Amino acid sequence: MKGKVAVIVLGGMPSGVPGNLAAHYSSPDELARTFARAGAVGVLALPNLRVLEVSWERAVQGQQHPVMVLAHPTSQQSVDIPLVTAFNPAAANTLLKGSGHTFEELLALADAGKPMPHFTLPVSLRGEVALEKSELSSVNVVGRLPGSEPKLAGESVVLSAHLDHLGLGEPVNGDGDRVYNGVMDNATGVAALLEVARVLQEKKAHPRRTVLFVAVTGEEKGLLGSRWFASHPPEGSGRMVADLNLDMFLPLTPLQRLVAYGVEESSLAAPLKATASRMGVEVMRDPNPEANGFTRSDQYSFILEGVPAMSFRFGYRKGSKEERLHKEWHAKRYHAPGDDLSQPVDREGAARFVSLLADLTSRVADAPERPSWNKDSFFRRFEQPGTPAPTAQPAP
């Protein structure tokens, strides 16, 4: 593909590929690396409106915010491709004209789980980009609860939550409000992190391992704060052995079911299931794997540094009232001014989640053995040299 622009139609993975692996290879950085190795100079995506969380118009508004990158890139930073953008799917057949294929044909193949064709488009793309650059500083905020057991205090369990949102933007749904408040995304996560810190601090016996409470910046700009923290932990962090991430856990309903992104990959499944069982909460599979939740928040930064990690969201059954509430929330409030204090919140469900998280953190921090990757986990390859090999783990 040297010198060419790659057009991705309906990004995702073939059926049969495990969800976490599909999310990893569908992540923007992995796609950029793949196409860069093939020599491409640009990537143009044709989104599938059936799985978009927001409308095309909302997506366009989101792209009008400034892009940010770290001044000193980490090893996780994506390669530089001059053009990475999306094409309005409503005009997809304009792009495909003369190729012998239509967008409707490709949608039907995707829906049927059939192989997608690959072909050259008889069009070219020309464009100019004006780039305005400036520098800014934004900080991660870190709290540290030292471990009580000398032999284990040099290891740390990280609780992370991102403190940023989108700032000011265009009104949505004609309400005139330009403030993108970010209550669910992610003031709830920061509030939960602070409450767990209070609970653990007030316990007579502190956890055996050190616990780090990390409010990271720049998540909405590409996990920037967590990328930096995971690869440059400050003095006193010790060896990070687990990350429990809190991002938009969505307490829209009572806490009956919980999705834990990454639970299939490491021994963190055992303490989570023990805690959930004690509280009568079902740990369930992700009902919406197409959204690639496994790679879209700060736990992914720790995973790429070899640290077992999970992130959480209230779960729902397909076709249920809870699913409808989640879809309505994404359509009306996700990355919109409506994510504010006027929205309905199941406060009891949120409080139960904080109790679950505090108990889970204590179990991980007090366990005799540090968490380990399952032997068959793809993500075990990111483990840092010198880490002891994990023992075999039962299937979750």
In a domain, 327, yes or no: yes
pLDDT at position 175: 65
In a domain, 120, yes or no: no
209 and 320: one domain? Answer: yes
Strands 239-246 and 155-162: parallel
299 and 182: one domain? Answer: yes
What is the number of structural domains in the chain? 2
pLDDT at position 377: 96
197 and 314: one domain? Answer: yes
32 and 85: one domain? Answer: yes
269 and 351: one domain? Answer: yes
pLDDT at position 30: 85
pLDDT at position 72: 86
90 and 155: one domain? Answer: no
203 and 329: one domain? Answer: yes
In a domain, 382, yes or no: no
92, exposed or middle or buried, with CB in 10 Å at 0-12, 13-18, 19+? buried
In a domain, 117, yes or no: no
Place of tokens 């040297």: 2
**One digit per residue, pLDDT tens: the chain, 396 residues?**
899 998 887 766 667 788 899 889 888 888 888 888 999 988 888 887 666 777 788 778 777 788 888 988 776 666 678 788 888 988 999 999 999 999 999 888 877 778 889 899 998 888 787 889 999 999 999 999 999 999 999 999 999 999 999 998 888 776 668 899 999 999 999 999 999 999 999 999 999 999 999 999 999 999 999 999 999 999 999 999 999 999 999 999 999 999 999 999 999 999 999 999 999 999 999 998 888 889 999 999 999 999 999 999 999 999 999 999 999 999 889 998 999 999 999 999 999 999 999 999 999 999 999 999 999 999 999 997 655 443 333 333
Q: How far apart are CA 215 and CA 190, in angstroms?
A: 7
3-state secondary structure of 364: helix
pLDDT at position 78: 63
336 and 199: one domain? Answer: yes
pLDDT at position 394: 39
In a domain, 121, yes or no: no
What tokens were used for 190? 């920061």
CATH number for 326: 3.40.630.10
pLDDT at position 94: 92
225 and 342: one domain? Answer: yes
61 and 200: one domain? Answer: no
pLDDT at position 121: 92
pLDDT at position 389: 41
In a domain, 316, yes or no: yes
Which residue, 73, 89, 111, sits at the end of a domain? 111
239 and 355: one domain? Answer: yes
In a domain, 349, yes or no: yes
Closest CA to 298 of 159, 198, 200, 157: 159
What distances in angstroms separate CA 231 from CA 16, 90, 122, 305, 382, one per listed residue?
32, 41, 44, 7, 12
Buried-state track 23-38, b at ≥16 Cβ within 10 A, e below 16: bbbbbebebbeebbee
In a domain, 266, yes or no: yes
Task: Supply the range of the domain harboring residue 197.
Answer: 141-375
204 and 327: one domain? Answer: yes
pLDDT at position 387: 52
